[in-house]
Structure 1
Amino acid sequence: MKNLSTTRSLSALALFGAVAILASCGGGSNGSNSNGSAAGLPSTATVTIPKADRFEPFLLEIAAGGAVTFTNQDADAHTVVSMPTDPVDFKLLVESGKSVKQTFSQPGIYGYYCDAHSDYDRVTGLIKAKKGADAYPISMYGVILVAGDSLPLYAEKAKIVMPSADRFEPLAIAVKRGTQVTWSNLDSDAHTVLTDPGESLQFKFVVPANGQASYTFDKAGIYPYFCDAHATWNSELKRVQARVGSSEYPAAMEGIVFVLP
């Protein structure tokens, strides 16, 4: 992977004005196609709810038709609720000490959350932790990429926008290996794009106010990132959390790039 460019763009609003939260649909210059091969991906996975209000792992990939088991090790019951932008709607109740299984037949990017401890913001598409949640301000949500031939997948070029607020749109995208991702900053503040600690590849670059920066992903994998000007890494919970004063608090300024072969 390599950082390709950082440039200023006064016409960024016109170029990157419409991006949907948690959607990988594209077209035109984004080079989107449907070729999300599930080769090599597991058909089963487990997400654990530990003794705190969060999901572990936060991110995962499975093949279409695969099943995810949600196991609750917490003393409280939790829910697993799909986001409105998901390809399929679902809502599960996971009692303390119990497990519930969900099968994902349709390829796509699925965001989910516990509505007992977090809320979905319909204006921004972000999940925001409820006050009193054990991990506050960290939101209790997760993201699953379900790979298959009909997965909407960016190839060659993809775009992520930072509007006049401390967030990335879309929150998660899926791209083919070798795709150049451009972050376009429409905000009056500069933002950073920094991979989470512990990832196999570490990078950090600045996206200037009213500017843009591009990065080419040459290796398949899951790459979570955040802006460390408006969010910080919680080393105990191994999650990004919002800085007090950020415009979307308590939602963290974070995003995910899924890179498929």
Structure 2
Amino acid sequence: MNGPFLTKLEYSGHTDAADRAAIASIVAHHRVVAARQDLSAEPGRSTVLVLLQGVMCRYRVMDGRSRRIASFVLPGDLCRLPEAPPKTSDWNIGALSRCAVGEIPIEALTALARERPNINRILWWMTLNELARAREWLVTGTMPAPQRTAHLFCELHACLQAAGLAEGGAFRLEIGQAALADAVGLSTVHLNRTLRILREAGLACLSRGRVEIPDLAQLRAFATFDGAYLGLNGPVARTGGALHLGT
């Protein structure tokens, strides 16, 4: 169950096999979250939640009616950052599919971070990765709909590939077109037209919860996608140097 989480951590460049085994040992409990169910904001919660299977999203309901998805939570991602208070904004975290969540006791994580400095570096890396994705969504929100959607497919592919969940140019995306439309800021009608454009151009096809990308390089060029911001260019060698924060 910890597979995507531990696989993704290899890309941080800050762990070895012993670090990953130590992290796996403190994932104390797994639970299932049903589709269309929100994670409740729990005052004084004592665990960090990591998504192991499925897809979640961070979202806000605008004007009491329309939903806007600000980011996806993918397997291997933390659902909430460890230091974040349980209710600091109006953002909700909801399951878009049936999900499995791992619970990491904060006390155990804190103790492990004291014993193994690399764990602190991992948390920084995961935080910066999430912030980089949020900044990129701000930029891609100004793109025409086909490029915006193509860029999201490229990002999802890169993130899921890092978690060991992409096969060549294909990956599962069982979230429904309404959720995808909310993520790219389109109506479902406009999204359907956009998906047809991508399909007829031979760039990408979404069918029955599976995205097929015939030529990944071609789709990336169409979307002007440069995945460097994700820090997922492949597992990198550990270094003893200080952690440098990007701006």
Normalised to the residue count of structure 2, the TM-score between the two structures is 0.27
Structure in which a larger fraction of residues adopt strand: 1
Normalised to the residue count of structure 1, the TM-score between the two structures is 0.26
